[in-house]
């Protein structure tokens, strides 16, 4: 079994210490970028989980102006409000795998939200 040392920070701010360590130790673990594209901070970021808050705000403002803002909405993978963004240095290696699992990820996200 192939092992990969990869850390997924739960909190956005926690990632900064991990990325600093990555920059100083170029043979260390990989770190997943959180909330925004973090590939510029370390070459040990193969991908980032990006939240497109700008799109959410735009949609909610538009709905509010139209008088159609619902009490609850989901903003996830299916509609492009959340995205797994592959870093440029890893596109060739990861693009096909991400493409192959994208629909499954959407289905799992929807199933989780229904619980």
Digit-coded pLDDT (tens) for 50-85:
999 999 999 999 999 999 999 999 999 999 999 999
pLDDT of residue 1: 45
User: What's the CA gap between 52 and 36, in Å, rounded?
Assistant: 8
pLDDT higher than threshold 80 for residue 4: no
Per the CB < 8 A criterion, the answer to whether 74 and 80 are in contact is: no
Buried b (16+ CB within 10 A) or exposed e, 14-38: ebeebbeebeeeeeeebbbbbeebb
What pTM was estimated for this model as a whole?
A: 0.84
pLDDT of residue 12: 66
């Amino acid at each position: 079994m192939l092992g990969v040392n990869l850390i997924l920070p739960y909190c956005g701010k926690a990632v900064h210490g991990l990325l600093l360590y990555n920059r100083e130790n170029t043979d260390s673990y990989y770190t997943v970028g959180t909330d925004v594209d973090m590939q510029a901070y370390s070459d040990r970021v193969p991908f980032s989980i990006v939240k497109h808050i700008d799109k959410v705000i735009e949609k909610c403002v538009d709905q509010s102006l139209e008088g159609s803002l619902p009490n609850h909405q989901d903003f996830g993978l299916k509609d492009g409000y959340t995205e797994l963004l592959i870093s440029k240095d890893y596109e060739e290696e990861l693009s096909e795998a991400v493409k192959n699992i994208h629909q499954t990820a959407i289905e799992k996200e929807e199933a989780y939200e229904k619980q």
